[in-house]
C-alpha cells in the first residue's frame, strides 16, 4: 500500500501536544478563564453561546482528526441530526431540556457508530469520500423527509425549555445569558471529559493509531474497534452541540446537515490547531467572531477563510494554538538567553 | 409511454457525458499525480460562468466553448506552478484541505464577480430547434451535447493511447520515478496533465451552462457527483469514468421521472455500496 495513504494528519502538531501534556492544568485554567470572560468580552451573549457550541462541535471533530488521524466530512450528519432529534422530541413529545439533549447525543453517537463502522472499512482517500457520500445521503434524506424536517424551510419554533428537575423549574433559560450559563457548564464538562479520555489508555491508543496504525495493530490493538469508538464519542458530542444550536436559534435549518457545515467545522478545527483541546476553543472563537464582525462589512469574508486554510496547511500546521506555542517557546528561549548574558 | 423513457435515456446520456468530462480530469490527475483535487467542482463552476460572460459579451457560444476551457486550464496551470506543486508530497489529508481552500476562494470570487443569484445561459441560436423522428421529438442542443462530448472523449482517448504525451502519462501513473529517470521533465508533465484535467472540468461547465445555467453553489454538488463517478468507475481508469459517468447519468435521469427526490440519494448510496463491496471500483485494478 502507498505509504502516503496511511500517513495520518499530524504535521507540526506534535510540539503543541508535548507542551499541552506538560502543563494540562495551565491550559484548563486558561479555558475556564476564557469561558467566564467570553460573555463580557464579545458583543452579545448569543454570540458567546454560538462560540461555545461550535467549540463543542470542533472538540468532537478534533477527537477524530487531531487525536485519531481521521479526516471526516461526516460531522454535519451528527450536528444536523442532533438538532433535528432534539427539536422533534421537544415539539412532538414535549420532553424536557435534559431528555432532549440526551436524545440528541444518543442520536449523534448512534449515527456516528454507523457512519464510522461503514467508513473505516476503507482508509485514506476512500475513507474521506465515504464520509462525504454519507453526508450527501443524509442531506438528501433530510430533504426528502420534509414532513419531519421541514425540508428547505427547516424546523421552525424550536422551544428552549427551562432547566427543570422533577417538574420543578430551577432556571428559566429564555435570556441569552442564562442559556450561556448552561452551554458553558456543558462545555466545561465536555472539555474536562475529553481531557480525561485523551489522557487515558484509550486516548494513548488513539494517538498510537494516528501516528502509525499498522504498528498499533501489530502490537495487538483492534484498531477498528478503537476508531469506531472514537467516532461514536465524536458523534455524541457533535449531536449535543447541534441540539444546543437549535435551541439557541429556536430553529433547525436544513443547512445544519449540509456538506458546507462539515467543512466549516473542519476548518475551525484546523485553524484552531488539530490535536489541541484549547485549539478547538480558539478555532471556533476566532471564526465565529470573525464571521460576525466581517459578514456585516464584507459578505464575502469566507474568501479569507479559504486563504487562511491554505496558509495554515502550508506554513503553520499546528494552527493558531501551535503558533502561540512556538511564540511562547521563542520568548522563553530569548528570556533564558538574556539571563545567561546577564 | 416508451417515448418518455427514450427521452429520459437520451437526457441521461447527455448528463452522463458531462459527468464523464468532469470525472475523467479528476481521475487523470489522481492517476498520474496521486493528487486529490477537491477544487474540481469549483473549476466546473468557473467554466459555466466564463461561458455566461462570453455569451453575454459576444453573443457567441462557440467562442466560449473554446475560450472558457482554455482560461480555466491556464488558471489551473498557474495554480499548479505556484501552489499545488508544493503539496504533491504531502499526505492526502493536506491536499484535500488546500484544495478545499481553493474551492472556497473560487466560490466566493464567483459570487463577487457574478452575484449570488444564478445566471442562465441561452441555448446557442444554431441549436434551438428540435429533431423529429416520427412521433419522437428531441432538443437539438442535447443531441449536439452528446455528440460533441463523444468527440472529445475519442480525442482524449487518442491523446492518451496514441501519442507520446499519453504514453508518458500512462507510464507515469505506474511509476513516476521510472519516467523521470528516462529523461522526461516530470514536472512539466505534471503541470500539463493538471491543466488538461481541470480544463476538461471547465469544458463540462460550458456544455452544461445552456441546460443548467451557472450558480455559485453548484461546486460542492458537482464535486460530489464527480467523486461518485470516479469511485464507481475506479480511480485512474479512463474507461471506468466513461462507463460510470453514463451509468450514473442514465440512472439519475430515469429516477428523476420515477422518484424525483430519490434520484440524488440513489447515486450516493450506489457509491457507498461500491466502495464497500469493490473498493477499487468496477473497472479499477487493485
| Cα distance between residue B213 and residue B197, in whole Å | 22
- CB of B205 within 8 A of CB of B48? yes
> CA A273, A108, A172: angle at the middle one, nearest 5?
90
pLDDT for res B105: 96
pLDDT at A12 over 80: no
pLDDT for res A165: 79
Which 8-state DSSP code applies to residue A125?
H
Q: Provide the terminal-to-terminal Cα distance of chain B, rounded to the nearest Å.
A: 43
Among A249-253, A302-306, A321-325, B131-135, which stretch is predicted with the lowest mean pLDDT?
A: B131-135
pLDDT for res B1: 63
pLDDT for res A19: 45
Count CA within 13 A, CB hemisphere, residue A9. Answer: 32
Segment 56-85 of chain A within 8 Å of chain B by CB:
71
Size of interface A-B (CB pairs under 8 A): 120
* Mean local confidence (pLDDT), A305-316: 92
**Is B92 in Cβ contact with A128 (below 8 Å)?**
yes
pLDDT for res A15: 45
Chain A residue closest to B274 (CA)?
A130
Q: List per-residue pLDDT tens for chain B, 286 residues long.
A: 677 888 899 999 999 999 999 999 999 999 888 899 999 999 999 999 999 999 999 999 999 999 999 999 999 999 999 999 999 988 888 999 999 999 999 999 999 999 999 999 999 988 888 888 878 889 999 999 999 999 999 999 999 999 999 999 888 888 888 888 888 888 899 999 999 999 999 999 999 999 999 999 888 889 989 999 998 998 888 999 999 999 999 999 998 888 887 888 888 888 888 888 888 888 876 5
- Where on the phi/psi map is residue A188: left (φ > 0), alpha (ψ -120 to 50), or beta? alpha
| Cα distance between residue A287 and residue A265, in whole Å | 10
Q: How confident is the model at residue A6 (pLDDT cuts 50, 70, 90)?
A: very low
Q: How far is B273 from chain A (nearest CA, A)?
A: 10
Neighbours of A165 (CB within 10 A): 10
Give the residue carrying C-alpha cell 485553524: A271
Judging contacts by C-beta atoms under 8 Å, the chain B residues touching residue A302 are 104, 107-108
Write A194-201 long-range contacts (CB < 8 A, 24+): A194/A59, A194/A63, A194/A237, A194/A277, A195/A24, A195/A28, A195/A277, A197/A63, A197/A233, A198/A67, A198/A277, A199/A24
pLDDT for res B21: 97
- Which runs of consecutive H residues, i.e. helices, occur in A12-96? 13-22, 24-41, 45-68, 75-93
pLDDT at A10 over 70: no
Which residue in B86, B94, B104 is closest to A302 by CB distance?
B104
**Is A132 in Cβ contact with B265 (below 8 Å)?**
no
Give the 3-state secondary structure of residue B50. helix
**Is A313 in Cβ contact with B275 (below 8 Å)?**
no
CB of B285 within 8 Å of any CB in chain A? no
pLDDT for res A23: 63
Judging contacts by C-beta atoms under 8 Å, the chain B residues touching residue A306 are 100-105, 108
Chain B residue closest to A307 (CA)?
B101
Give the 3-state secondary structure of residue A156. strand
pTM value?
0.90
Among A10-14, A56-60, A129-133, B135-139, which stretch is predicted with the lowest mean pLDDT?
A: A10-14
Give the bridge partners for A252, in sequence order. A155
pLDDT at A178 over 70: yes
What is the interface pTM, i.e. ipTM, of the complex? 0.90
Judging contacts by C-beta atoms under 8 Å, the chain B residues touching residue A136 are 224, 264, 268
* Mean local confidence (pLDDT), A221-245: 96
* Mean local confidence (pLDDT), A186-204: 94
Amino acid at each position: 500500500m502507498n505509504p502516503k495513504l496511511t500517513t495520518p494528519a499530524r504535521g507540526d502538531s506534535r510540539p503543541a501536544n508535548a507542551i499541552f501534556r506538560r502543563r494540562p492544568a495551565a491550559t484548563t485554567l486558561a479555558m475556564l478563564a476564557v469561558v467566564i470572560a467570553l460573555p463580557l468580552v464579545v458583543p452579545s451573549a448569543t454570540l458567546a453561546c454560538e462560540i461555545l457550541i461550535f467549540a463543542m462541535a470542533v472538540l468532537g471533530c478534533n477527537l477524530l482528526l487531531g487525536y485519531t488521524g481521521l479526516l471526516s466530512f461526516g460531522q454535519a450528519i451528527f450536528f444536523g441530526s442532533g438538532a433535528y432529534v432534539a427539536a422533534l422530541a421537544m415539539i412532538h413529545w414535549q420532553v424536557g431540556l435534559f431528555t432532549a439533549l440526551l436524545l440528541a447525543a444518543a442520536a449523534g453517537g448512534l449515527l456516528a457508530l454507523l457512519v464510522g463502522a461503514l467508513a473505516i472499512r476503507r482508509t485514506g482517500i476512500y475513507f474521506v469520500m465515504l464520509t462525504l457520500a454519507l453526508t450527501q445521503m443524509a442531506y438528501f434524506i433530510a430533504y426528502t423527509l420534509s414532513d419531519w424536517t421541514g425540508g428547505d424551510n427547516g424546523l421552525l419554533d424550536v422551544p428552549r425549555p427551562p432547566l427543570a428537575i422533577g417538574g420543578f423549574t430551577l432556571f428559566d433559560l429564555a435570556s441569552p445569558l442564562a442559556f450561556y450559563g448552561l452551554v458553558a457548564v456543558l462545555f466545561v464538562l465536555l472539555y474536562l471529559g475529553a481531557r480525561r479520555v485523551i489522557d487515558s489508555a484509550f486516548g494513548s491508543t488513539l494517538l498510537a493509531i494516528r501516528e502509525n496504525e499498522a504498528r498499533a495493530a501489530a502490537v495487538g490493538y483492534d484498531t477498528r474497534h478503537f476508531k469506531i469508538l472514537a467516532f461514536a464519542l465524536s458523534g455524541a458530542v457533535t449531536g449535543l452541540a447541534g441540539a444546543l444550536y437549535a435551541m439557541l436559534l429556536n430553529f433547525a435549518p436544513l443547512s445544519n446537515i449540509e456538506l458546507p457545515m462539515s467543512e466549516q467545522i473542519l476548518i475551525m478545527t484546523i485553524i484552531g490547531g488539530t490535536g489541541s483541546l484549547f485549539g478547538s476553543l480558539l478555532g471556533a472563537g476566532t471564526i465565529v467572531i470573525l464571521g460576525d464582525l466581517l459578514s456585516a462589512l464584507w459578505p464575502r469574508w469566507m474568501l479569507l477563510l479559504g486563504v487562511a486554510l491554505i496558509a495554515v496547511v502550508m506554513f503553520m500546521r499546528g494552527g493558531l494554538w501551535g503558533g502561540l506555542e512556538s511564540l511562547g517557546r521563542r520568548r522563553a528561549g530569548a528570556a533564558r538567553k538574556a539571563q545567561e548574558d546577564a | 409511454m416508451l417515448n418518455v423513457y427514450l427521452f429520459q435515456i437520451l437526457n441521461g446520456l447527455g448528463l452522463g457525458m458531462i459527468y464523464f468530462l468532469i470525472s475523467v480530469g479528476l481521475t487523470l490527475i489522481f492517476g498520474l499525480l496521486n493528487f486529490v483535487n477537491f477544487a474540481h467542482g469549483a473549476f466546473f463552476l468557473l467554466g459555466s460562468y466564463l461561458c455566461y460572460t462570453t455569451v453575454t459579451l459576444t453573443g457567441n457560444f462557440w467562442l466560449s466553448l473554446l475560450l472558457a476551457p482554455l482560461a480555466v486550464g491556464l488558471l489551473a496551470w498557474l495554480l499548479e506552478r505556484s501552489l499545488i506543486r508544493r503539496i504533491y508530497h504531502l499526505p492526502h489529508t493536506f491536499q484535500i484541505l488546500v484544495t478545499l481552500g481553493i474551492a472556497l476562494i473560487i466560490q466566493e470570487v464567483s459570487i463577487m464577480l457574478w452575484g449570488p443569484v444564478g445566471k442562465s445561459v441561452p441555448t446557442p441560436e444554431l441549436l434551438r430547434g428540435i429533431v423529429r423522428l416520427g412521433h419522437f421529438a428531441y432538443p437539438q442542443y442535447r443531441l449536439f451535447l452528446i455528440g460533441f462530448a463523444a468527440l472529445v472523449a475519442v480525442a482524449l482517448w487518442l491523446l492518451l493511447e496514441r501519442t507520446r504525451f499519453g504514453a508518458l502519462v500512462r507510464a507515469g501513473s505506474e511509476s513516476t520515478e521510472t519516467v523521470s529517470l528516462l529523461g522526461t521533465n516530470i514536472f512539466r508533465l505534471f503541470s500539463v496533465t493538471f491543466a488538461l484535467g481541470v480544463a476538461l472540468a471547465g469544458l463540462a461547465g460550458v456544455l452544461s451552462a445552456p441546460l443548467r445555467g451557472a450558480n455559485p453553489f453548484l461546486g460542492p454538488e458537482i464535486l460530489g457527483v464527480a467523486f461518485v463517478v470516479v469511485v464507481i468507475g475506479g480511480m485512474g481508469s479512463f474507461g471506468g469514468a466513461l462507463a460510470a459517468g453514463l451509468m450514473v447519468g442514465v440512472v439519475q435521469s430515469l429516477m428523476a421521472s420515477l422518484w424525483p427526490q430519490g434520484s440524488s440519494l440513489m447515486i450516493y448510496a450506489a457509491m457507498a455500496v461500491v466502495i464497500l463491496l469493490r473498493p477499487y471500483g468496477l473497472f479499477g485494478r487493485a
